[in-house]
Structure 1
Amino acid sequence: MKKRKSVIPGFGISLGITITILSIVVLIPLCSLVVFSAKLSFSEFVYTVTRPRVLSGYFVSISTAFIASLINVVMGLILAFVLVRYDFKGKRFIDGIIELPFALPTAVAGISLTHLTTTNGWVGSIFYKLFGVKIAYTRIGITIALIFIGIPFVVRSVQPVLEKIDIQYEEAAFILGANSRTTFFKVIFPEILPAIISGFTLAFARSIGEYGSVVFIAGNTPYETEIAPLLIMSELQEYDYSAATSIALIMLAIAVVILSVNAIVQSIVSRRVNGLA
């Protein structure tokens, strides 16, 4: 049997290059967190990462990121559906600016959102005068900033899957008597569910570690709007590298857990969808 030639080097060389690049770019920097954290004893490490102020920072970061990601799932699904199923003027422009949060410096986004949502800003003044609600320097403001930086993950995860769904399946469902709601949940939704989960998880993981766009709009009030990444920066400014890396190590562990759960859930959902197909 003739061996098929590959356009890339052999498996051994390819694997070696992959591991080397992965080690330089990802593994070695992450291992440095463990090395610096190891300078603390176990009791000191536990005390550092479980102080009330630090626990509050974890809660603020995780809760606002979770809420923002849920909102992004709904908004991102609607945006992806409109961009795939409808043709209108300015469609390419809207499709392009969805990726703006990827290119825009996070500090610029944070400053812009803060100016818009303060009690004197265009948006913030309306909500404050009509409803008495403050947006900037509250958890609402943090959530808005995280929605801004997270929505491209959902749109770009769902959009390619929607493009591949044959519209004839929907037409067949309509012919068989299904209404729009039934068609969406029975025909479309099962197909895009893995992509929705992926987009949610990526947005969630990204939002938990977000610093630049949040630090300006948060107000950084301890136990109220102080996020975990800000605590890390505060420890670094005080040259307490062991404490900073310890908190960062917990954030890394949270991110790993989120991504691992995402992989497991996606695998289960994909098997079920393929089994029903």
Structure 2
Amino acid sequence: MGSSAPDGRGERVSTSWEADEIAAGFEAYDDLPERILGYPCVFDALRLDDATRVLDYGCGPGKVAERIVGDYGCAVVAVDSSPAMLTIAQRERAHPRIDYHHVSGEQLSFLADGSIDAAMACYVCINIGSLDRIKSIVAEMYRVLRPGGRYAVLDTNPNTTGVQFSTFRSGEPGRRYSTGQQRRVLLRRPDGQGLELIDYHWPSRTYREVLAGAGFRDITLHEPVSGEGERPSKPHGPAWGNETTRPPFLIVVGEK
């Protein structure tokens, strides 16, 4: 299991997404609840049926970009700060309609103002410990979106911290976290191994305030749970757990 050791102050060191071990572990992770409950809600909220060019900010190994191209035929601009993640994405999910970019900061200088129809950031904010940096990213999403374009944030739900879901648990059971506090995340891989990450706790109101501060309007929050038609169909996959009664994800959507 990959781990993050405490520093001299007793806090754990942030996850190094540039590390080959972390990128490989994330690639091996079976994103079952995300596939069933998270991404479809994001795609619907962004109205991808009407989109031509989509921005996937923090694309990781390209799993989401590949689904967008396959399901909607959009062109996808997929960016990430981790060369290790992009190496996997370009090797495993190269596609003529996916344009992968490495970024070292929040600015997307290669994208013109208003050049994107829809934008998303999946599991980006929870991996950033600086609220100012999150604000900069959201402001950049606002800049590159066309008028009427929509932006969606998908993160683990701060209201179900510590709850064990089928493939992950974010935070310790019964523990309350303050704004911006580090949390230990455990991902369960199909091979039985685990991957330990460190993320940050941002309450629902923080997401709403950040999007509003960037200029987004009509901000909505979604907390999907599983229905009977959304249970996993794979006979040998991970067992569906608390997803039926507790929402594992928070999805925040705003319109420019």
TMscore range, shorter length: under 0.3
Higher helix share: 1
Q: Which has the higher contact order (CA 8 A, sep 6+)?
A: 1
TM-score, scaled to structure 1: 0.24
